[in-house]
């Protein structure tokens, strides 16, 4: 485990950003939508109260996932080829 940490700390920041974009792009391509849940408090009457959850789903285009993935690949390659 310490070897992995040592390798990551010696990586260039642009390569780390490329890896993050790669992972994010794959996640976007796999999920294709994001669901957000918000908690709404209802009426409070004496010891009684009501609560509700509101779920909102946002579709995410696979095109956006592809762009993020391609950007991650490009950043990783640029960071790998860039001289110190």
pLDDT in tens, 8-38: 666 788 888 999 999 999 998 998 888 888 8
Two structure tokens written together for 57: 């789903």
pLDDT (0 to 100) of residue 58: 87
**Which residue do the tokens 């950007």 mark?**
71
**What value does the mean pLDDT take over residues 54-82?**
88
Residue 24 DSSP label: H
30: helix, strand or coil: helix
**What value does the mean pLDDT take over residues 39-44?**
79
pLDDT higher than threshold 60 for residue 67:
yes
């Amino acid at each position: 485990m310490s070897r992995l940490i040592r390798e990551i700390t010696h990586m260039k920041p642009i390569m780390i950003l490329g890896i993050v974009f790669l992972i994010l792009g794959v996640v976007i391509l796999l999920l294709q939508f994001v669901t957000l849940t918000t908690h709404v408090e209802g009426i409070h009457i004496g010891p009684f109260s009501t609560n509700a959850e509101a779920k909102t789903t946002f579709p995410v285009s696979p095109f956006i996932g592809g762009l993020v993935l391609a950007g991650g690949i490009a950043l990783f390659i640029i960071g790998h080829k860039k001289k110190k």
